[in-house]
Amino acid sequence: MAEANKHYKDLEPSYLFANIDKKVAEYMEKNPDADIIKLGIGDVTLPLPKACTDAMHEAVEEMAHIESFRGYPPYYGYDFLREAILKNDYLERGIELKKDEIFVSDGAKSDCGNILDIFDESNSVAVCDPVYPVYVDTNIMAGRKDNILLMECTEENGFFPQIPDRHIDIIYLCFPNNPTGEAASFEQLKKWVDYANRENSVILFDSAYEHFMREDKPRSIYEVEGAKTCAIEMRSFSKTAGFTGTRCGYTVVPEALTIGGTALNPMWARRQSTKFNGVSYITQRGAAAIYTPEGKKQVDEHINYYHENAEMIYNGLKSAGFKVFGAVNSPYVWLRVPEGYTSWEFFDVLLNKCRIVSTPGSGFGKAGEGFLRLTAFNTHEKTAQAIERIKKLF
């Protein structure tokens, strides 16, 4: 008899955002005319930058002619995109990497889960609490349920995890952080890099929100000395350039990164060429356009637009008496729910009384209880309306 993966029984019945969708769908069924404002999942609103769609139109045209048609894309991404990433995201920022250390993919979420293929099941894992649920769920699926250390990130420790007093094999760090919106300093990350090098551990650094960084803090883990021998970095064009539906991102696995004498770069290359057939030519042309002068300008406009929303939420709620965090280097605002409510109870209040979809902090882990996350990814108009609705109620 075939056996199903027994570890799935250890998971929560449904993925956090699927759970929220279900609650919203139930509400909509009862209130079909409700003018809901979505500040829940971090999905973007603005269309793709014009530089990207222009490049994609051209790529479609190329695909229509025998002399310029392309079949399977290269497993690790077209050179034009890998080179643009290398130059703009790393070399120009003083980070020495090589093209062959960059692997283009369909996004950071898939890579966060897929990367576990190159690690042994016996590895211990540390994640922040609260945390992007994908890190935890994919490790549970891989049989590590009892081998996950939750590192509390609270107001008291500035939402930054303490270095553990024992050995951990794989450490997930995400800065600017999802869900708290807080960024990490050079000194803070250096402590983790030193720990990982000392312990021969691997840091999985999720840098999906780096474009929102406003302060002088690391956007890449490789800005921290020593990171190339201990860290893998994942990035995404989803929040940077509106690619949530288009799907494109990349993962960096430095050649210098080895564990127990085994280099991880060739392992990831082997994994990707076996299980992944690359990102479409049209999508990669769109992604490469982000790095053109017009693309950069348009991306900056998008990021500024969302930053204005984040400020609007942050300042609006603060003036209404809420305790708020994040926003400065992030599209997320993390707020303390009023006394007497749990995260889910306050989620229900916002949905039922203000017609606002949010994300309850406890959905990101136990230490998220008592908090709630709002995203800056809606329009200015709807964001302003949402804040007015909350202010009226409190």
The answer to the question of residue 360 lying near ligand MLT (CB under 6 A) is: no
Could you tell me the smallest distance in angstroms from the CB atom of residue 240 to ligand MLT?
Answer: 12
Max CA separation in the chain (angstroms) = 67
Residue numbers 83-122 binding ligand MLT by CB under 6 A: 109
Span from 39-47, 49-57, 169-177, 288-296 in contact with ligand MLT (CB under 6 A): 39-47
Q: Assess contact for 265 and 248: CB atoms under 8 A.
A: no
Taking the C-alpha atoms of residue 368 and residue 376, their distance in angstroms, rounded to an integer, is 19
Could you tell me the smallest distance in angstroms from the CB atom of residue 374 to ligand MLT?
Answer: 11
Could you tell me the smallest distance in angstroms from the CB atom of residue 54 to ligand MLT?
Answer: 26
The answer to the question of residue 139 lying near ligand MLT (CB under 6 A) is: no
Q: What is the DSSP letter of 131?
A: -
Sort 392 into a burial class: Cβ within 10 Å, 0-12 / 13-18 / 19+. exposed
Could you tell me the smallest distance in angstroms from the CB atom of residue 239 to ligand MLT?
Answer: 7
Q: Which amino acid is at 77?
A: G
Sort 26 into a burial class: Cβ within 10 Å, 0-12 / 13-18 / 19+. exposed
Taking the C-alpha atoms of residue 27 and residue 29, their distance in angstroms, rounded to an integer, is 5
Q: Report the chain's C-alpha Rg in angstroms.
A: 21
Exactly one of 20, 39, 42, 343 binds ligand MLT (CB under 6 A); which one?
Answer: 42
What DSSP letter does each residue of 79-94 carry, written as one string? HHHHHHHIIIIIGGGT
191 Cα distance to chain centroid: 22
Could you tell me the smallest distance in angstroms from the CB atom of residue 133 to ligand MLT?
Answer: 8
Residue 172 vs 281, nearer CB to ligand MLT: 172
The answer to the question of residue 178 lying near ligand MLT (CB under 6 A) is: yes
Residue 237 vs 314, nearer CB to ligand MLT: 237
The answer to the question of residue 130 lying near ligand MLT (CB under 6 A) is: no
The answer to the question of residue 285 lying near ligand MLT (CB under 6 A) is: no
What are 336's two structure tokens?
A: 């303390």
The answer to the question of residue 316 lying near ligand MLT (CB under 6 A) is: no
The answer to the question of residue 41 lying near ligand MLT (CB under 6 A) is: yes
Residue 43 vs 100, nearer CB to ligand MLT: 43
Sort 273 into a burial class: Cβ within 10 Å, 0-12 / 13-18 / 19+. middle
- Total binding residues toward ligand MLT, as defined by CB under 6 A: 6
**251: which strand partners?**
103, 234
Residue 41 vs 91, nearer CB to ligand MLT: 41
Could you tell me the smallest distance in angstroms from the CB atom of residue 392 to ligand MLT?
Answer: 26
Binding residues (CB under 6 A) for ligand MLT: these are 41-43, 109, 132, 178
